[in-house]
Amino acid sequence: MKKSSLIKANIVIAVMLVALVGIGFSNAFVSVSTDPRVIYSGNSENNNVSFMINVYEGAEQVRDILDILDIYNVKTTFFIGGVWATKNIDLVKEIYTRGHELGNHGFYHRDHNTVDFDTNVQEISSCHKLISENIGIEMKLFAPPSGAYNVTTVDSAESLGYKTIMWTHDTIDWRDQNTDLIYKRATKDLSNGDLILMHPTKKTVEALTDILAFAVNNGFNPTTVSETIK
């Protein structure tokens, strides 16, 4: 066999081996970003958007946010962390009685992509039980802490009757304490069905009035995640 032919044969064999390895590992490295069960945005056929609030701290800021939402007659979804809820159950009740939707944000703020199926279930179900027993509702939406999830996370949430919720825009307000930056991230390229992630920080409170005003003045309807994704 000529040298050139030998090289070509080796290349073919190498390509075949890579393909076989890829097939063998395909189930282990599923890209979660392509999982159709994970929701990053809602229905673009109407003008609903949702400024969703993930809560693991900031009780005082939660109260301020509630007051601002009342001024604009806006309802939204608060994803509640279990540990925070155990210390602030009266405030969780107030969030609900003031007409807002409650979602599940896990119990201990774990990275759900690093734990097994049973631990995922325990994290979600513990928070669910706490809210169910104290508020009397059955939550159906789960927002993974830090946005950390994998197929196992989604499987565990689904087994409990939950939809896994991510976001379209992230204000990163927990890190960047800058009112103008939070406002820009919440409003830039805002489109029908968008889910905008926020947290109860002081700067978020400062930006929220202008954010809601922008949304309303541009024809959007700020509402709950459930309304936005249906």
Q: What is residue 17's predicted lDDT score, i.e. its pLDDT?
A: 38
* Residue 27 pLDDT: 31
Interstrand relation of 77-80 and 48-55 (parallel, antiparallel or unpaired): parallel
> How far, in Å, CA of 212 to CA of 122, rounded?
36
- CA-nearest of 195, 213, 194, 203 to 72 is 213
Look at the alpha carbons of 123, 103, 47, 70 in this order and tell me if their dihedral is positive or negative: negative
Q: What is the DSSP string of the chain?
A: --HHHHHHHHHHHHHHHHHHHHHHHTTTT--GGG-TTEESB--TTS-EEEEEEEESS-HHHHHHHHHHHHHTT---EEEE-HHHHHH-HHHHHHHHHTT-EEEE--SS---TTSS-HHHHHHHHHHHHHHHHHHH-----EE--GGG---HHHHHHHHHTTPEEE--SEE--TTT---HHHHHHHHHTT--TTBEEEE---HHHHHHHHHHHHHHHHTT-EE--HHHHH-
**Which tokens sit at 82?**
């279990």
**Cα–Cα distance measured from residue 196 to residue 40, given in angstroms and rounded to the nearest whole number:** 10
Task: Tell me the Cα Rg of the chain.
Answer: 22
How far is it, in rounded angstroms, from Cα 60 to Cα 194?
A: 27
**Do 155 and 117 meet the contact criterion of CB atoms below 8 Å apart?**
yes
Task: Report how far residue 135's alpha carbon sits from residue 129's, in angstroms, rounded to the nearest whole number.
Answer: 10
- The predicted structure's pLDDT at residue 33: 55
Q: What is the pLDDT of residue 5?
A: 46
* Structure tokens given for 75: 């309802």
- Amino acid 18: pLDDT: 36
Q: Give the pLDDT of residue 106.
A: 98
Note the pLDDT of residue 121. Answer: 98
Per-residue pLDDT of the chain in tens (230 residues, 90 and over written 9): 444 444 444 443 443 433 333 433 333 333 345 799 999 999 999 999 999 999 999 999 999 999 999 999 999 999 999 999 999 999 999 999 999 999 999 999 999 999 999 999 999 999 999 999 999 999 999 999 999 999 999 999 999 999 999 999 999 999 999 999 999 999 999 999 999 999 999 999 999 999 999 999 999 999 999 999 99
